[in-house]
Amino acid sequence: MLQGLELIISLIAVFIGATVMGTVSFGLALVVAPVLLIFLDPHSVVIIANLLIVILLAMVFIKVRKHLQISQLYGMLSGGLCAVPVGVFALKIANPSVLRILIGILILILGVSLLFKSEIALARSKKSGFFFGFLGSLSITSLSIGGPVAAAYVIAQKQSPNSMRASLSFFFLTTYTLGFILYFLTGLIDIKSVINTALLIPGLIAGFLVANLIVNKINADTFRYVAIGLILIGGSVLLLREILSL
């Protein structure tokens, strides 16, 4: 269980991650997971990060729900829901090293393409929603880091900042809900993870409040570059973590 200095450091990480995610609707795990991995085992980190994300996304979605364009998410949601059992199974028994490397490379390719405003035919096609939803959900449920994949697809659809926040928060809430049902049924959720999550909620709420103060001051271009920056960081974190573990 987190306590003392471990808890203080973790609260600071959650505060920063919640500020980021409260602004662009993804990115909390990119900040929180590397810190929690210093103190906790990988399975617990995935569960705690995902629990925190669900709580925060619920608050974000309530705020931006009127901007949701559900008709643009059918393919993405279908792919995401299909991937959840696979991701939970991978977290339960598989070594996800190869998956992390492949996803990390894909994230970097997508991020660089978006940064230079390259036309990504696959991402711009609404028919590709199933693919991006599947890959994003797979990495969410097995690694806790899947936001960059889903965000790459939503950015390519050229949605407004609030529509993007609504789309991502709704997609993640839907897939996480199914994910937690399967986490519970497979015995991946334990009481220590729930207690640690509860201890970190104050940092989560503080970060969300700060995000509310700054999100409306960000114009569309700034929002886009912040999101792309997080996509690139996400891919780099995945690859670097795997390289260092070799």
**pLDDT for 144-191, tens place per residue?**
666 777 877 887 777 777 888 888 889 988 988 888 888 888 888 889
pLDDT at 220: 62
Buried b (16+ CB within 10 A) or exposed e, 55-76: bbbebbbebbeebbeeeebebb
- Angle value at C-alpha 194, between 135 and 32, nearest 5 degrees: 50
pLDDT single digits (tens) 11-65: 998 998 898 888 877 778 777 887 887 888 877 888 898 899 889 989 889 888 8
Q: What pLDDT shows up at residue 107?
A: 65
Q: For 21-25, 81-85, 96-100, 161-165, which range has the lowest pLDDT when averaged over its residues?
A: 96-100
Render pLDDT for 184-221 as a digit per residue (tens, 0 to 9). 888 888 899 999 999 999 999 999 998 888 877 777 66
> b/e per residue, 102-112, with b = 16+ CB within 10 A?
ebbebbbebbe
